[in-house]
Amino acid sequence: MPTPSLFATQALLLEGWARDVLLELGPDGSFTRVTPGSAPEDADGPVERLAGPAVPGMANVHSHAFQRALAGLTERAGPQEDSFWTWRDLMYGFVRRMTPERAEAVASQLYIEMLKAGYTAVGEFHYLHHGPDGRPYDDPAEMSKRVIGAAQMAGIGITHLPVLYGYGDFGGQAAGEGQRRFLHEPEAFLRLVEGLIAAHRGDTQVRVGIAPHSLRAVTGETLQAAVQGLNGLDPSAPIHIHIAEQQKEVRDCIEWCGERPVEWLLHHAGPDQRWCLVHATHVTEEEVTRLAGCGAVAGLCPTTEANLGDGVFPAPGFLAAGGALAIGSDSHISISPVEELRWLEYGQRLTLRRRNVLSGGADAPSVGAFLYKRALAGGAQALGRPIGRLAPGCRADLVVLDDCLPTLAGKSGDVLLDAAIFAGNRNPVRDVMAGGKWVVRARRHGREEEVLESYVRVLGDLTDT
């Protein structure tokens, strides 16, 4: 049976909004032809009329899936002043109870929620590798397989990024007990990566890259070994790293090597288009310019960065210098591209005391459209998959907006995105297709009840005292 074509009365294409768009799909789940100004009858076979305006599905470039189960449990003032570092201690405590089965149940729930919110691809920055005593599972890829399996079950595209984690702080300091489930020598790490790459070669919904955790968790040598090893396996695979998220981290880095984290990375690792620098919050003007110029993506996670008290990324200078950005939900206190993009802009408004900061200027004044399109492009780049566009050769990842919502009704074009991102609190996503398959229909995912049931059970086990 031929794959039905789709017909949208309004769709966001690379050139901008188009009317009466016929979207034809191939059996591999990619678009084969996208034709504005068509009629449904122009299709060769069956056609499905979309229930509302269509936009490309969003990429979520930074996820630690297991942390979804911790969301909401760390919002209580502790005996000392709370910080990123006190949160991290709570997170390490929580990690102790995570088993492969539980991790899969949590990731399954998370990925369904992502799809329902309009994320059709995820970058999973995966560092929970080993058993509670730090020993690898019988299959060292056990945890990776659970997380990838959850993505496949849910139907979300995944760029799986096994994390290289070797040390506790700058300069190769020994890792602490709370970090032992994360640790690898570069050799064992590369074996894991090699196995995963081999297992997913030719898989259009799964890509594998790497993530040196941070400059606190690798040394110059182990970072280089990981990147070189990856180059031998897949020279275009994505490389993600946490960087310059906290001011203490910047101070410690300067103390260690005399350079700031982004500065050090630019000097010693040669980041380019394959790289995604996650957070990159604390950067000087010079770092901003050089970071933008190197072609790497800034992976911004505004809700988590707010929740953890990180700071605000200097986005205007970075964008003015031609920088690429993407969004991630990171610790998953929020699973909503709307909220990430809204807070990306609001962080700027609050610090600069201005309005409409991130836009394409007089030619492209819509803040909503600017943010959405930039995050699509940067997201596709960071995840190393053909996504983010309703265009031939790209994965058929598409979101149908619910224009029955009062905030969207009667609107068209860029104003739809302005309203979806800045007006109202209801999820604007009605239907979602990922890799050519409908995964959310009329706001429902086909597996949501059973997945929620096991998630709730697992949450009980995880929080049982």
Active site residues: 279, 330
Encoded tokens for 367: 């803040």
Q: Minimal distance in Å, beta carbon 184 to ligand NGQ?
A: 15
Closer by beta carbon to Zn ion, 126 or else 385: 126
What angle do helix axes 285-294 and 261-268 make, rounded to 10 degrees? 40
Q: Minimal distance in Å, beta carbon 429 to Zn ion?
A: 24
Closer by beta carbon to Zn ion, 34 or else 297: 297
Site residues for ligand NGQ, window 1-40 (CB under 6 A)? Answer: none
Q: Judge whether 287 and 262 are in contact, CB under 8 Å.
A: yes
Beta-strand pair 5-13/47-49: parallel
How many residues touch ligand NGQ under the rule CB under 6 A: the total is: 9
How many residues touch Zn ion under the rule CB under 5 A: the total is: 1
Residue from 160, 242, 260, 332 touching ligand NGQ (CB under 6 A): that is: 242
Closer by beta carbon to Zn ion, 330 or else 402: 330
- The owner of tokens 């995880």 is 462
Site residues for ligand NGQ, window 245-264 (CB under 6 A)? Answer: 245
Closer by beta carbon to ligand NGQ, 308 or else 335: 308
Interaction partner, residue 389 (Zn ion, ligand NGQ, none; CB < 5-8 Å by kind): none
Q: Minimal distance in Å, beta carbon 182 to ligand NGQ?
A: 8
Rounded Cα distance between 204 and 9, Å, is 28
- The owner of tokens 């690798």 is 218
Closer by beta carbon to ligand NGQ, 120 or else 307: 307
Percent helix, strand, coil in the chain (nearest 5)? 40, 20, 40
Rounded Cα distance between 155 and 273, Å, is 27
Rounded Cα distance between 392 and 122, Å, is 21
Distances (CA, A) of 341 to 178, 346, 369: 33, 9, 10
Q: Which of 27, 73, 54 has the alpha carbon at shortest distance from 401? A: 54
Site residues for Zn ion, window 309-338 (CB under 5 A)? Answer: 330
Q: Minimal distance in Å, beta carbon 73 to Zn ion?
A: 17
Q: Minimal distance in Å, beta carbon 408 to ligand NGQ?
A: 32
Closer by beta carbon to ligand NGQ, 170 or else 455: 170
- The owner of tokens 């950005």 is 325
Q: Minimal distance in Å, beta carbon 62 to ligand NGQ?
A: 8
Rounded Cα distance between 274 and 389, Å, is 19
Rounded Cα distance between 143 and 126, Å, is 9
Interaction partner, residue 307 (Zn ion, ligand NGQ, none; CB < 5-8 Å by kind): none
Site residues for ligand NGQ, window 204-233 (CB under 6 A)? Answer: 214
Is residue 418 within the footprint of ligand NGQ (CB under 6 A)?
A: no
Neighbours of 255 (CB within 10 A): 10
Site pattern 323..342 for ligand NGQ (x: CB under 6 A): -------xx-----------
Q: Minimal distance in Å, beta carbon 241 to ligand NGQ?
A: 11
**Measured at the alpha carbon of residue 302, what is the angle toward residues 299 and 304, in degrees to the nearest 5?**
100
Interaction partner, residue 88 (Zn ion, ligand NGQ, none; CB < 5-8 Å by kind): ligand NGQ
Is residue 304 within the footprint of ligand NGQ (CB under 6 A)?
A: yes
Q: How far apart are the first and last CA of the chain?
A: 53
Closer by beta carbon to Zn ion, 11 or else 325: 325
Q: What are phi and psi of 238, to 5 degrees?
A: -65, 150
CB closest to ligand NGQ, residue no: 64
What's at 232, amino acid-wise?
G
Is residue 64 within the footprint of ligand NGQ (CB under 6 A)?
A: yes
Rounded Cα distance between 163 and 8, Å, is 40
Q: Minimal distance in Å, beta carbon 165 to ligand NGQ?
A: 9
Distances (CA, A) of 16 to 264, 358, 367, 369, 427: 39, 18, 14, 9, 23
CB closest to Zn ion, residue no: 330
Closer by beta carbon to Zn ion, 155 or else 238: 238
Which positions lie near Zn ion, rule CB under 5 A? Answer: 330
Q: Give the binding site for ligand NGQ (CB under 6 A).
A: 64, 88, 214, 242, 245, 304, 308, 330-331
